[in-house]
Amino acid sequence: RISLADVLIFATGLKKIPAVGFIPQPELHFLPNDTSSHLPKANTCSLTIQIPLGLNFEDFKEQMNFGIGGAEQFGEA
**Model-wide pTM > 0.85:** no
DSSP string, 24-74: SPPEEEEETT--S-SS-EEETTTTEEEEE--S-HHHHHHHHHHHHHTGGGT
Percent with pLDDT over 90 in the chain: 34
DSSP 20: T
Q: How confident is the model at residue 69 (pLDDT cuts 50, 70, 90)?
A: confident
Q: Tell me the residue range of the domain where 69 lies.
A: 4-73
Query: Is the pLDDT score of 34 beyond 50?
Result: yes
What is the total count of domains within the chain?
1
* Average pLDDT score, the chain: 86
Q: Which residue has the higher pLDDT, 36 or 29?
A: 29
Q: Which residues does the annotation mark as catalytic?
A: 45
CATH of residue 57's domain is: 3.30.2410.10
